[in-house]
Amino acid sequence: MNETLIANLRAQRGGPRDGALLRFSLGNALLTAGDAAGAAEELRQAVAFDPNYSAAWKLLGKACLAQDDKPRAAEAWRQGIAVAQARGDKQAEKEMTVFLRRLEPPAR
């Protein structure tokens, strides 16, 4: 099922429906399938289409973390937090703040 979904979404890239939502959906499907590198690539495209897409920033951080790329995960979440704050998306802001806090515990 997921392979079919991924194939269908990939087929739409570059067409009239290509955009942030398509790339987010493809990134989500790839991450679910265990392809974190492919997911990160698609999610970077999603935020290139729409830099104010806080959910894409959140998922991009997760994809980076799944690749054990903590610096890029942290950067994605920082960008996402800024976007969420600017848009008033309190839930996304809270979630990414928690993810970032877990990734970068306070110095003691």
Tokens of 7: 């194939």
Q: What confidence score (pLDDT) does residue 1 get?
A: 64
At which residue do the structure tokens 């996402």 appear?
80
CATH number at residue 17: 1.25.40.10
Residue 29 domain-assigned (yes or no): yes
Q: What confidence score (pLDDT) does residue 105 get?
A: 72
Number of domains in the chain: 1
Residues 6+ apart with CB under 8 A from 66: 31, 36, 39
Residue in 63, 42, 58 with CA at minimum distance from that of residue 100: 58
At which residue do the structure tokens 């009239």 appear?
16
User: Is a pLDDT exceeding 90 seen at residue 52?
Assistant: yes
| Rounded CA separation 10/80 (Å) | 25
Contact indicator for 31, 73 with CB cutoff of 8 Å: no
Integer angstrom CA distances of residue 75 from 10, 35, 43, 48, 64: 26, 20, 14, 15, 10
The overall pTM is greater than 0.85: yes
Residue 108 domain-assigned (yes or no): no
